[in-house]
Amino acid sequence: MKNKALCLSAAMILLMASCKVNDKAQASASKAYEGKEMTDEYDGKINELVSKMTLEEKVGMLHGYSMFTNKGVERLGIPEVHMADGPLGIREELERMSWAPLHLETDYATYFPAGGGLSATWNPAMANLFGTSIGEEARAREKDVLLAPAFNIIRTPLGGRTFEYMTEDPFLNKSLVVPYVVGVQDQNVAACIKHYAANNQETNRGSVDVNMDERTLREVYLPAFEAAVKDAKAYSVMGAYNKFRGDYLCENKYMLQDILRDEWGFKGIVISDWDAVHSTKKALEAGTDLEMGTNAPSFDEFWLANPLIKAVKEGKVAEAEIDKHVKRTLKMLYTLKAMGDATDRVKGSINTEAHFKNAYAIASESVVLLKNSANMLPLQTEGVKSIAVIGANATAKHAQGGFGAGVKTKREVTPLDALKAKLPQSITINYAKGYETKFKPKANIKYGDVTVERAETINELDPKMVAEAVAAAKKSDVAILFVGANRDYETEASDRVDLKLPFGQEALISAVKAANPKTIVVFVAGSPYDLNQVEKENQTILWSWYNGSEGGNALADVILGKVNPSGKLPWTMPKRIEDSPAHATNSFPGGATEEYKEGILVGYRWFDTKNIAPLYPFGYGLSYTTFELANAKTDKESYTKDETITVTLDLKNTGKADGKEVVQLYVSKAESKVQRSAKELKGFAKTAVKVGNSEKVSIEVPVKELAYYDIATKSWVVEPGTYTFKLGTSSRDIKAEVSVTVE
Ligand code: BGC
């Protein structure tokens, strides 16, 4: 409930700002994103059903019986639980017993922006629109559980799933995850929030034992999970691959029972990540309800299959324990209207113009303008006769790739497609690819193994391709480079080795810039890279993401000025990897164990507390207009711990274009009993302001948000004293400060 006030105020501002969301999303935005509890209505029926089931039938419900279902009980009318990946859109249908695609004509889906793109919108209404749309697609494909959202904290920029996860900040994370989950579950589909928990690296992900202090766990790694359970009422949770304090997540009583169920009141089911279970009795009794994985050697051999039947027969596991898990799954099925008498289960829709439009709306709020010092953007096409479009990402498609995060889609508009359609016919486009992107097959990859086919030549350019790119740039009035990465280079199951731009792109960018000073550099990527040289040599830098079916259109509209960029970085872009907390403390990638030595100082909290300048700070992103913040004040001077602080200010558009700005509220506490980060995000609001106008921005901070987790009393404590709120447009661009006292 903690972030509800904020979401509400952000949502209301958005409504007033008439941003591009469909009516449905606007309506749900105003609900302040409260999820619905699972229904108790059928508890009597559930008891009756379970009393009729054989041990074998019950156990069949607790493990995978195809790649993405468990086993139903036909004679009792219990359907299979149908699950589908994933965070970027509904994955294509696979063979029941293998990862091989079925190559159907009927399983095309909308490709939605990856986590980085969604979080760069800094817009809870966009997260709700995302959840609603992807939930509708899941229903159209008759799924019960969507294996998304994925939102582990981005602890290191090198993490393979950085593109898929959302942010380095726990507050931004939960502000987006809650509306996303509510949107999905409003469609009678369970969100499976993943990966619970401390799943922050791919290196040794199947075995690494993560250790961190309790305060760090509670303040950084759990808040979005906690809010997804308590506020959004998520119906399922995915147990991660890794261990936490010695126990695998899927057999971790502390995480699954003590925190998830006893403290947070979780009523749904825990589904294991694929092949993440390692025991029978321990996993079941700790709280795993459904073991999923691959069909090797056979589904009957799963830990929660025949070995479980045997354990019951030998008296090692009580049948009542099994009943408990079966009942949870049945409760979820009734809640989703997959069972019972309800005839109004959402039917859904997929691959529709409405969903492409929603994907566009999200993408168009996510593009981040990193630099525009020569005012080359928006690009003025008057008098322009030719444009060089250079780089593999001008034409690359990013919907597929990255294991569970791939989507088979009919529509993926590339930047080149979009520019061709949107530029005046009189302008000639001179295209050159500039560099190749080839990879080794992904067998047994581990940390450091993601390299191109010819490992030694990863950064070597083909001189002929460079010459073509330079020639295209020279003969054109303007050059636009589309560079960055792709879904093979940034992927599940492997972390990156360093921040270097792959494929020799740095040299290519320099060569193009030397050939044509009017060069615009556009990155399409999902994780931080070393942009030092690019930043030194260029005046115009734009950042886009693996941005969904309409990513190219959104990007082209930003370039051409139809859309004023309003995206903000959801993580810190460091100057050097050594500056990043997990690397500065030499605690990544670890070995068998991984100690999170940086503690609570994750992301910008580290950079700001240690006074290390990043290349681009958390929350950063420019606009084609300028804004001024004035008259920042709070509604009172002093508060008690159950009150909510309202901070208001005037946001004035002082430039020449209508635009949206994200006002960010960071809190600092000077004197404290415990270690404090220099700044912590505790509120934000995205507001549209017309040229010359001023809008009142209101950000609500429940005093409870100011609490720290006290390890001695195992509770959240709001320390009395003075708190300073720093209001700005990035974590490093603070424009106003106000202080309050908490009694
Ligand atoms: C991933 C999950 C995914 C599952 C099923 C695992 O490798 O970690 O995120 O949902 O596969 O595809």
Q: What is the pLDDT of residue 16?
A: 33
- CATH fold label, 627-742: Immunoglobulin-like (2.60.40)
Residue 383 pLDDT greater than 70, yes or no:
yes
Residue 31 pLDDT greater than 70, yes or no:
no
- Measure 276 CA to ligand 1 centroid, in angstroms: 10
Q: Is 273 in the pocket of ligand 1 (CB under 6 A)?
A: yes
Q: Is 404 in the pocket of ligand 1 (CB under 6 A)?
A: yes
428 against 23, higher pLDDT: 428
Q: Is 680 in the pocket of ligand 1 (CB under 6 A)?
A: no
Q: Is 147 in the pocket of ligand 1 (CB under 6 A)?
A: yes
- Measure 491 CA to ligand 1 centroid, in angstroms: 12
Average pLDDT over residues 448-452: 43
- Measure 191 CA to ligand 1 centroid, in angstroms: 14
Cα atoms in the 13 Å half-sphere on the side-chain side of 517: 1
Asked if 653 contacts 693 with a C-beta cutoff of 8 angstroms, the reply is yes
Backbone angles phi, psi at 679, to 5 degrees: -150, 145
Nearest alpha carbon, ligand 1 atom 7: 274
CA-wise closest residue to 126 among 20, 9, 30: 20
- Measure 273 CA to ligand 1 centroid, in angstroms: 6
Q: Is 589 in the pocket of ligand 1 (CB under 6 A)?
A: no
- Measure 687 CA to ligand 1 centroid, in angstroms: 36
pLDDT tens profile 161-176: 999 999 999 999 999 9
Give the number of the atom of ligand 1 that is nearest the alpha carbon of residue 91: 12
Residue 1 pLDDT greater than 50, yes or no:
no
Looking at the chain, which residues constitute the CATH 3.40.50.1700 domain(s)? 369-570
Q: Is 86 in the pocket of ligand 1 (CB under 6 A)?
A: yes
User: By percentage, how much of the chain surpasses pLDDT 70?
Assistant: 93
- As separate numbers, helices (DSSP H) first and strands (DSSP E) second, the chain gives 21, 25
Looking at the chain, which residues constitute the CATH 2.60.40.10 domain(s)? 627-742
Based on the residue annotation, tell me whether 273 is a catalytic residue of this protein: yes
- Measure 599 CA to ligand 1 centroid, in angstroms: 27
- Identify which of 492, 494, 495 to mutate to test ligand 1's pocket (most ligand atoms within 8 A of the CB): 492
Q: What is the pLDDT of residue 403?
A: 76
Q: What confidence category does residue 27 fall into, taking pLDDT thresholds of 50, 70 and 90?
A: very low
SS3 of residue 163 by DSSP: coil
Nearest alpha carbon, ligand 1 atom 8: 273
- Identify which of 81, 82, 85 to mutate to test ligand 1's pocket (most ligand atoms within 8 A of the CB): 85
Contacts of 236 by beta carbon, 8 Å cutoff, 6+ apart? 145, 190, 191, 192, 193, 268, 269, 270, 271, 332
pLDDT tens profile 361-377: 999 999 999 999 999 99
- Identify which of 164, 403, 407, 442 to mutate to test ligand 1's pocket (most ligand atoms within 8 A of the CB): 403
- Measure 193 CA to ligand 1 centroid, in angstroms: 12
Q: Is 198 in the pocket of ligand 1 (CB under 6 A)?
A: no
pLDDT tens profile 409-422: 999 999 999 999 99
Please state whether beta strands 145-146 and 659-668 pair in parallel, antiparallel, or not at all (unpaired).
unpaired
Nearest alpha carbon, ligand 1 atom 6: 274
Task: Detail the DSSP E strand segments found in 223-286.
Answer: 236-239, 243-244, 247-248, 269-272
Q: What is the pLDDT of residue 318?
A: 98
Task: Give the sheet arrangement for strand 190-196, strand by strand.
Answer: 83-84, 145-146, 190-196, 236-239, 269-272
Q: Is 274 in the pocket of ligand 1 (CB under 6 A)?
A: yes
Question: 261-285 burial, b for 16+ CB within 10 Å, e for fewer?
Answer: beebebbbbbbbbbbbbbbbbbbbb
Asked if 328 contacts 289 with a C-beta cutoff of 8 angstroms, the reply is yes
Average pLDDT over residues 24-38: 61
pLDDT tens profile 249-308: 999 999 999 999 999 999 999 999 999 999 999 999 999 999 999 988 899 999 999 999
> Among residues 273, 488, 530, 608, which one is catalytic?
273
Q: Which residues pair with 84 in a beta bridge?
A: 146
Residue 18 pLDDT greater than 70, yes or no:
no
With a threshold of 0.75, does the pTM exceed it? yes
CATH architecture of 369-570: 3-Layer(aba) Sandwich (3.40)
